[in-house]
Amino acid sequence: MSKNLVIVESPAKAKTIEKYLGSDFTVLSSVGHIRSIAKKVKGGAEPIDVNRGFETVYEIDPEKKKTVAELRKAVKAAQDVWLATDEDREGEAIAWHLCEVLKLDPKTTKRIVFHEITKPAIEEAIKHPRTVDMSLVRAQQARQILDRLVGFELSPVVWQKVPGGKSAGRVQSPAVRLLVERERDIENFQGSFQFKVSALFRRASDELKAELPQRFDTETEARDFLESLQGAHFQVTDITTSPSTRNPAAPFTTSTLQQDANAKLGFGSKATMSSAQKLYQEGKITYMRTDSMTLSGQAIAAIKDFVTGAYGPQYSQVRQFKTKNASAQEAHEAIRPTDIRLEKGSGNEYDQRLYNLIRSRTLASQMAPAQLEKTTITISISSRNEVFEAKGEVIIFDGFMKVYGGGKKDPDILPSVVTSETLDLATVSARQIFARPPSRYTEGSLVKKLEELGIGRPSTYATIINTVQVRGYAEKGEAEGTPREVIVLNLTQDGVKREVVEEKTGSDRGKLLPTASGEVVSDFLTGHFEPIVDYDFTAKVEQEFDLIAGGTLERNQMLQEFYTPFHELITQSGDIKRSEVAQAREIGIDPKSGKPVLARFGRFGPMLQLGLAEDKDDKPQFAPLPAGRKIETVTLEEALHAFQLPRIIGETAEGEIIKANIGRFGPYIQVGKLFVSIKPLDPHEITLDQALELYQAKLKAEAEKNIADFGDGLRVLNGRFGPYITDGTKNAKIPKDIEPTSITHEQAKAMIAAAPATKKRSFSRKTAKKPAVKKRTVRSKKT
């Protein structure tokens, strides 16, 4: 063992750093966090004792015990230990936990930070070590303690009072509220339409597209206008040219990276951060969790040299962007490549696309503005006072657009015309256009909104977006839109001709939609726990974390001010009636049976019910709510149609019945015990041929998945992460040096016997405490 031990967070980071340090250094990894707040404490005490200054009991994560043992052994053999975890609050907290577990003094143990993994940065960090910043640690502790208290006290209330409720979180709940409020805005949007007039003029061999600036509110007005153009003359009356400048955006912060990766590459927040993490650990980009927009002087000089050499001095313009967030303390620099000359950042295509985005944005930030020229040609109508306008844009000097933001759309190049010149009208039409409702959030635009409201920080955005989806409170839309009829009026030699064309509207593909569960839980929290979903209150908590990190606010003071009123709300929640949270709606009466038809919220979401539960002799029937319908809007006709399921489609060649139905996870067909998803087909309409095709495909997939079946429940299967053995309750991974097809029955039994038991949920309804909690007096162990 070398005399110097450096401990980092990830194995990939360890490998990269070890290349830059000499033989006197050994670099090991903690593989992320090594301790968490304990789930239980011996003697029944609470892991967080709110009566003793929020004393917290931590425990080593079970899967990290081996890692901790190896680190303890390495620490004993080393003369000096250097803690090189990430430079944000999470990294600082990991460094403190390492000190606690490895018996290191946080007041004297060397702590080094760097925002890029390069040889100069590592060597510079070694020259200037510091100690663990306990203010940053306390800020992370405050966030962790608060989130645990809210989750463990509020989630049981949600389970008990909200049908289908799963959990509630301090930051995820305001995010769900944003989605719900946007959905309500869309539902309440009052649609309207107008008619837009477009014309195509000809001048010799040139064509000129123009539009009427005014819109018409009715079809009659649009028709009258078009009719008035018959026999009219058109003349160029004015040509105005105005120069404009377009400036580049700042280098990426965590938030803007997630927004742009989502908009330009289609990457989700979680995937973006995972890819960025790999690029950082491989030493290709600077630290990826930051709200700083500044670049180091060294980086700016390197970019200037590269831009000047690659594109010419006229393309270079040095600038420094000022960070908007005054409380930014997550890092010291924006996200940029560590070597701007390097075009290849990864052998992985996915990561390379993100690297290209980061590199081009960084280059653009230090390049000259684009110089544009905008031209407007005004065309008069001899029979009317209105005028047509043709607008175009010419790029005089592309500047930063050479590397970023250009090439999306070819600018409209206008033909050369002169004032008083007469133009020929080729075509003119009036098309019905509709007012657009507010757009649903994408992952990127939701991150932007959270940042604007001051909710979350660079290290939490991706987690928030992921959590609301994992909890089932939001989902990605898949619909391409619904058809809509559009009126188009065309002026011809025979007069105005009317036609109706079809276009799609309301596509929600890739957008975040609140689920029915998300809406019910959000309404419940807004009504009974308003501070938890209040945007200003949540932002204020984030600001207080910043003050703790800066050493200007006491951790326990902040925790107490939050917890006291919050716990009072929990105590009062026992009076909330579950029946009033999500009330059932009677849609009507079934004409065949005379039973009432209800739309209500069940354990797995909104559902339909035929009959009453009180009728013991005739149990009610249940059916899922039709797609795209809500409890408030579903009609009796739609409900009765839903009760026609399950539907028998036909039989397989072997004579087995094929049924179509809708379940928790969407439409499916059932053959015996085999279930096959039929998305996006309708179970009411799927044909026998379609069902048989899907059934055969499923049989083929199952056959390929099943490597071996020993007949007693033991099977060798091909899984998502490779081949494994299962007995139905336990799974055993097959070592890479063993051929799955050669495994014997005895080997399979031995592997299953040696496999660890399936982990039980650590946070369950049974283990979580009840909502109406009395003041705690039991003293917990000290950290």
CA atoms within 13 A on the CB side of 665: 6
Tokens of 346: 């990864």
Report the distance separating Cα 163 and Cα 165, nearest Å.
5
β-pairing, 4-8 with 80-83? Answer: parallel
* Rg of the Cα atoms in the chain: 32
Rounded to the nearest angstrom, the gap between the alpha carbon of residue 771 and the centroid of all alpha carbons in its chain is 30
Give residue 778's identity as a one-letter amino acid code: V
β-pairing, 58-60 with 35-37? Answer: antiparallel
Q: Following DSSP, what letter does each residue of 561-604 receive, concatenated?
A: HHHHHHHHHHHHGGG--HHHHS--EEEEE-TTT--EEEEEEETT
Tokens of 218: 């009715």
Report the distance separating Cα 293 and Cα 334, nearest Å.
5
User: 30 with 71: CB under 8 angstroms?
Assistant: yes
Torsion of CA 424, 427, 428, 430, to 10 degrees: -170
Positive or negative, the Cα torsion across 510, 514, 518, 523?
positive
Q: Which of 287, 315, 695, 724 is catalytic?
A: 287
Report the distance separating Cα 223 and Cα 441, nearest Å.
38
Tokens of 736: 């890479």
Report the distance separating Cα 605 and Cα 20, nearest Å.
55
Report the distance separating Cα 492 and Cα 496, nearest Å.
6
- How many beta carbons lie within 10 A of that of residue 53, not counting itself? 11
Tokens of 404: 């970023």
Has 668 been annotated as catalytic?
no
User: 581 with 364: CB under 8 angstroms?
Assistant: no
User: 267 with 303: CB under 8 angstroms?
Assistant: no
Report the distance separating Cα 272 and Cα 274, nearest Å.
5
Helices 134-161, 535-549: inter-axial angle, 10-degree rounding: 150
Residue 59: enclosing H or E segment and its boundaries? Answer: strand 58-60
Report the distance separating Cα 625 and Cα 622, nearest Å.
10
Torsion of CA 125, 26, 29, 275, to 10 degrees: 60
User: 563 with 773: CB under 8 angstroms?
Assistant: no
Tokens of 548: 């703790």
Tokens of 32: 């992320």
Helical spans, DSSP H, in 215-296 = 219-228, 254-260, 269-281
Report the distance separating Cα 176 and Cα 129, nearest Å.
42
Residues with a catalytic annotation lie at: 287
